[in-house]
Structure 1
Amino acid sequence: MIHARLRQFVALAVGAVLAACLSFAAPASASSLTPAAAGTQVQTPLVVNARWGGHATFDRIVIDLQGYAPTVTVTPVAQLRYDGSGQPVPLAGKYFLEIRLNPAAAHNDAGESVYHGPKLQKIYLSKLKGLAMTGDYEGYVTFGAAFDTLPYYRAYSLHSPERFIVDIAH
């Protein structure tokens, strides 16, 4: 009798934990609630531009945002590919970084692009050799950066106005 009650209690507890976890794993959409919003409707951040610059000791990539700063991951990858199609991105280089923003969009609710930066650009800086917008798909906006040598980088957000920065050391 005690073992049956214990099994029933454990099953109910596991079910409650799974239900709670699934409620946090809901996918983000272009006008979803943000975890930080706590019950208020907040528009997904918009990616409106990407730019770059060369400095004395580093090259810099800047992604300009409208709204709050989303979660961003910067990942070294073997090759850059366009989201959705999987086609290779035609940027020359031996090393690549993928910059992924989520939740984010480069289009408004009507499907019109709000992104005014380059889609594919050769760049002739010390380290940075190219930048491409590789995706605006299902709540993710993705960029790829190309380099001839292994990039040593630092990534962070700045505020007022919102922007995401990747500094690549020379």
Structure 2
Amino acid sequence: MIHPPFRRIVALASGALLAAGLSSAVPASAAIATRTQNQTPLVVNARWGGHPTYDRIVIDLQGFVPGVSVTPVPHLVYDGSGKPVPLAGKHFLEIRLNPAAAHDDAGHSTYQGPRLQKINLSKLKGLALTGDFEGYVTFGAAFDTVPYYRTFSLHSPERFVVDIAHQNQC
């Protein structure tokens, strides 16, 4: 039978050896990637385009693609004030990035895209930057009909994409 204090010593020593082995096995590139991912990604632009079977929204970032939620909402409001966003539409999506910022540490805007834009694509009718507050950057998108969409990230350069399906326009 192994005495309980001995088990504790063996467990501590094993953990220390394992940690030492793992820390020496981390390549320098992983340490740089970790440092980069600790910095808040910056939202620098939003753009859109029409394609034969879908409309596309692209949000350009510096850093990495953060967590993003895309949620149907009954109406769009500006973060903080709660004031309605003046985009015509019957259906809306809220695109929320976190952690993210559209400003630098000095408070200067890094976002160069539109703040409020009427759009006349097959599905997409408008896009607005609705918030940049406490680690969240939020966009609102407006549609006349229910949007059926898919989302994904692209890299080099970093960007988040929302594709909204529609009938072939060719």
| Short-chain TM bin | 0.7 to 0.9
Superposed, which structure 2 residues align to 1:54-65 within 5 Å?
54-65=50-61
Unpaired runs of at least 5, structure 2: 1-32
Q: Counterpart in 1 of 2:71?
A: 75
Aligned with residue 103 of structure 2, among 102, 107, 132:
107
**Residue type of the partner of 1:129?**
K
Once structures 1 and 2 are overlaid, which stretch shifts more, 41-50 or 57-66? 41-50
In structure 2, distance between residues paired with 1:156 and 1:82: 25
In structure 2, distance between residues paired with 1:117 and 1:47: 9
More helix by share: 2
Q: How far 1:43 sits from its partner (Å)?
A: 1.5
Deviations 1:44-96 (A, max 9, x none): 00000000000000000000000011000000000000000000000000000
Q: Counterpart in 1 of 2:144?
A: 148
Aligned with residue 116 of structure 2, among 111, 116, 120:
120
Aligned with residue 166 of structure 1, among 156, 162, 168:
162
Aligned alpha-carbon RMSD (Å): 1.1
Tell me the percent identity. 80
Computing the radius of gyration from Cα coordinates, the structure with the larger value is: 2
Deviations 1:10-57 (A, max 9, x none): xxxxxxxxxxxxxxxxxxxxxxxxxx83xx473200000000000000
Count of residues in Structure 1 that have an aligned counterpart in Structure 2 = 133
**Residue type of the partner of 2:65?**
A
Q: Counterpart in 2 of 1:85?
A: 81
Q: How far 1:103 sits from its partner (Å)?
A: 0.1
**Residue type of the partner of 2:69?**
T
Q: How far 1:150 sits from its partner (Å)?
A: 0.3
Unpaired runs of at least 5, structure 1: 1-35
In structure 1, distance between residues paired with 2:65 and 2:54: 23
The ranges of structure 1 where at least 4 consecutive aligned residues each deviate by more than 2 angstroms after the TM superposition are none
